[in-house]
Amino acid sequence: MDFKSKIILISGPTASGKSSFAIQLAKKINGESVLLTFYPHPRMVLYPENHGLQLIQTQEEKLDSLEKTGLDNVVILPFSKEFSRISAWDFVRDILINAFNIHTLVIGYDHQFGKNREGNINYLKDMSHSFDFNLVDTAGIRRKSKVKENIEFYSVIRSIRAIEYSDVCLLIVDATRGFDGQVQNIFWLAHRNQKGIVILVNKWDLIDKEKKSTKDFEKLINEKISPFEDVPIIFISSLNKQRVFRSIEKAVEVYKNRKKRISTKELNNYMLPIIEKYPPPSSKGKHIKIKFCNQLPTFHPQFIFFCNLPQYLKDPYKRFLENKLRERFDFSGSPIQIFFRKK
């Protein structure tokens, strides 16, 4: 499967199962999960007199906690002032690529790295066009009332920025909590930024199937995300390794849908007869005639329809046109924007 140049984001509330999903993904592609960390803490080396750190775990306690997550490997790189002078490019090429041969890079926090702190999440995304690491994990997004510590506040801000920079967002939902307001906020943030979306309902193995079926849960989700209901929903269990790889396959499909281009001739041959059969309703005694349409050359699906009175076209007819486009051309998981212009 080709992940190159695709930025696939795993997002979701805290404790929804994002990290477990990433670990199981490594197993599904016959790889190994590796956590890369540094010791001593970089700030203790660079600012020994004024680092201001209060670590919540010793090195031994941290390793014990990591062992319980199911990680295959933990690599501790000795951090020194000489190491800090390595350029960001050399770190990516020599360590991430040549030493570890990474397939997928999961980022939990936007740390700066490399000489003069030139590397960050945006730098890594630029490098993803040359190297094959395009899976990004955000920090868990908590409810605003729960965000009290400064470090967590900035993690949430970074998570929001990660959504803005991604191509496809894998939104992980905790089945035991449901599609609550917090999850809906993340969904609509991705939608407003015109990102491809796949909804993954995790921990489905914990649900009593006699009381709640997949159809019931899908119906509930579709009610919450209406009118944008053309979104893939996959029920997974990171713990039991159910449908983990299928989730990534679906994300790649959504990525392709988001990049899909329809020729102007094919678009008009399909849409104009439909518009002629079901024309826009007249407004104030004036008849609206749509004459031509084409797809704009943008990074996500945008269509423009030229007509005589664009100011009188309402949202219901815009949704009608969108539904017809989805029926024919399969834009599943990708938002569509439709514009009307006078001609």
What residue segments make up the domains of the chain, in order of their start? 8-31+103-258, 264-342
CATH architecture of 264-342: 2-Layer Sandwich (3.30)
Sign of the four-CA dihedral 219, 224, 228, 231:
negative
Task: List, for residues 58-92, the tens digit of each pLDDT value.
Answer: 888 888 877 777 778 888 889 999 998 999 999 98
| Of 1-15, 103-117, 249-263, the least confident | 1-15
pLDDT band at 143 (very low <50, low <70, confident <90, very high): low
Overall residue count recorded for the chain in this entry: 343
Mean pLDDT of 170-189: 87
Share of the chain above pLDDT 90, in %: 33
Q: Are strands 196-202 and 34-39 parallel, antiparallel or unpaired?
A: unpaired
* Secondary structure of residue 8 in the 3-state scheme: strand
Whether 1 has a pLDDT exceeding 50, the answer reads: no
With bands split at pLDDT 50, 70 and 90, how would you rate the model's confidence at 16?
low
Other beta carbons within 10 angstroms of residue 280's beta carbon come to: 22
Q: What is the mean pLDDT of the chain?
A: 82
Is the bond into 40 cis (omega within 30 degrees of 0)?
yes
Residue type, 7: I
> Cα dist. 59→55, 65, 316 in Å?
10, 10, 59
pTM, whole model, 2 decimals? Answer: 0.69
Strands 34-39 and 302-307: unpaired
pLDDT tens-place string over residues 262-305: 999 999 999 999 999 999 998 888 899 999 999 999 989 999 99
Q: Left, alpha or beta for 338 (phi > 0: left; psi -120 to 50: alpha)?
A: beta
Which residue, 108, 54, 116, 61, is CA-closest to 89? 116
Residue type, 230: D
**41, 52 Cβ separation under 8 angstroms:** no
Strand partners, 300: none
On the question of pLDDT at 322 being above 60, the answer is yes
What's the pLDDT at 269?
Answer: 97
CATH number of 8-31+103-258: 3.40.50.300
